[in-house]
């Protein structure tokens, strides 16, 4: 491309931009925005918008007389004798002076932006409930209150016939432990060993969970709090074993989850640890992978909540054991925090 060709192309571009700006000016775009802003300000103040007669019309297109009205078919200048027609003054490509913009900044749609404190109030979340108690004396008192409630829930779960799992179970598996530490581990569902013994996490995965809890106690991750299966509470989302250890079905979770929620309400935990996908999705309230959900701290009513891999997943993939131990350290920090 020669220098003269480049110059002509740049001149064409500049001419196109100039014509576009002139068309926008002639169309009265600025006037329309100002009128919309004035009407929005009046609405927010509780009063009517500006009267129709006071609203300026956009100026006519440069060099062209105003045509007939689109709705009535008559010329607008004939309907308003007080307004001078195109012959009253020379036409100009410059736009008429626009109304002063409102003091408040305008949003994309012409609405005034709210003040910063109003924006904060509009999007402020409701305050979180206070955390459940941590002091040993309060935890012991809470355990004495929780014990009869937990026994009642266990009896109801053993007699439950809300879904088809009651036909295939050996016995229901409500939960085991106490509220004295304020830590609750929630798994997925009982397996064959749990179904036979009526106690959660007693098979190979359960033995690994017991070792994890003991390691937390040996390392004194939570000073002054003894950690073992008798001081924490261990339970599952489902209280009955699904056949062949299949995944829980949505309607089974729906029927069984009220037992878990009532247990958590009675226990008043300081920290809840979700073991695996189904407990995490139920209590966190979002879908996702364990890798995406772990490492964060959530809230469940008066408790903090963390997510980690199920012990059964650690048996299948030993590489998960290190992340699980990191999650137990997070649990301890949040417990004390």
Closest Cα partner for 327 from 317, 304, 68, 246?
Answer: 304
- How many domains does the chain divide into? 2
Looking at residue 108, its pLDDT comes to: 46
Ramachandran sector of residue 92 (left: φ over 0; alpha: ψ -120 to 50; beta: rest): beta
Here the tokens at position 306 are 């963390």
Same domain for 294 and 196: yes
Q: pTM above the 0.85 mark?
A: no
Tens digit of pLDDT for each residue in 256-305? 999 999 999 999 999 999 999 999 999 999 999 999 999 999 999 999 99
Same domain for 248 and 302: yes
Q: State the pLDDT confidence band at 12, using cuts at 50, 70 and 90.
A: confident
- Tell me, yes or no, whether 114 lies in a domain: yes
> What's the domain range around 167?
136-336
- Tell me, yes or no, whether 284 lies in a domain: yes
Same domain for 176 and 53: no
**Across the chain, what does the average pLDDT equal?**
80
Alpha helices in the chain (DSSP H): 3-27, 29-44, 76-79, 116-123, 136-158, 165-168, 192-197, 204-218, 250-267, 277-284, 290-293, 311-316, 321-336
Q: Count CB-CB contacts under 10 A for residue 227.
A: 22
Half-sphere exposure of 51 (CA within 13 A, CB side): 2
CB 306 within 8 A of CB 327: yes
Place of tokens 């070792």: 211
Question: Hey, is 244 helix, strand or coil?
Answer: helix
CA 278-281-286 angle, to 5 degrees, is: 160
Pairing between β-strand 176-177 and β-strand 303-308 as defined by DSSP bridges: unpaired
Same domain for 244 and 145: yes
Same domain for 113 and 190: no
Alpha-carbon gap, residue 275 to 282, rounded angstroms: 11
- Tell me, yes or no, whether 129 lies in a domain: no
Tens digit of pLDDT for each residue in 155-186? 999 999 999 999 999 999 999 999 999 999 99
């Amino acid at each position: 491309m020669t220098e003269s060709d480049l110059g002509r192309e740049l001149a064409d571009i500049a001419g196109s931009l100039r014509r576009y700006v002139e068309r926008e000016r002639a169309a009265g775009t600025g006037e329309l925005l100002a009128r919309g802003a004035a009407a929005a300000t009046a609405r927010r103040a509780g009063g009517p918008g500006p009267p129709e007669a006071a609203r300026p019309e956009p100026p006519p297109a440069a060099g062209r007389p105003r045509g007939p009205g689109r709705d009535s078919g008559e010329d607008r200048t004939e309907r308003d004798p007080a307004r001078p027609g195109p012959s009253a003054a020379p036409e100009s490509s410059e736009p008429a002076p626009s109304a002063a913009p409102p003091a408040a900044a305008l949003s994309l749609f012409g609405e005034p932006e709210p003040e910063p404190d109003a924006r904060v109030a509009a999007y402020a979340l409701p305050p979180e409930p206070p955390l459940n108690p941590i002091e040993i004396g309060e935890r012991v008192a809470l355990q004495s209150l929780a014990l009869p409630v937990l026994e009642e829930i266990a009896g109801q779960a053993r007699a439950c016939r809300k879904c088809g799992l009651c036909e295939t179970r050996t016995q229901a598996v409500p939960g085991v432990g106490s509220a004295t530490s304020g830590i609750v581990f929630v798994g997925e569902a009982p397996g064959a060993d749990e179904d036979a013994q009526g106690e959660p996490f007693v098979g190979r995965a359960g033995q690994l969970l017991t070792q994890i809890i003991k390691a937390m106690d040996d390392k004194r991750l939570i000073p002054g709090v003894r950690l073992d299966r008798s001081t924490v509470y261990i339970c599952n989302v489902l209280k009955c074993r699904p056949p062949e250890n299949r995944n829980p079905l949505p309607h089974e979770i729906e029927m069984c989850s009220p037992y878990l929620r009532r247990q958590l309400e009675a226990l008043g935990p300081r920290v809840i640890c979700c073991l695996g996908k189904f407990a995490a999705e139920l209590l966190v309230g979002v879908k996702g992978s364990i890798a995406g959900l772990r490492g964060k701290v959530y809230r469940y009513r008066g408790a903090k909540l963390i997510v980690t891999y199920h012990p059964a997943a650690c048996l299948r993939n030993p590489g998960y054991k290190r992340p699980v131990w990191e999650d137990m350290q997070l649990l301890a920090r949040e417990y004390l925090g």
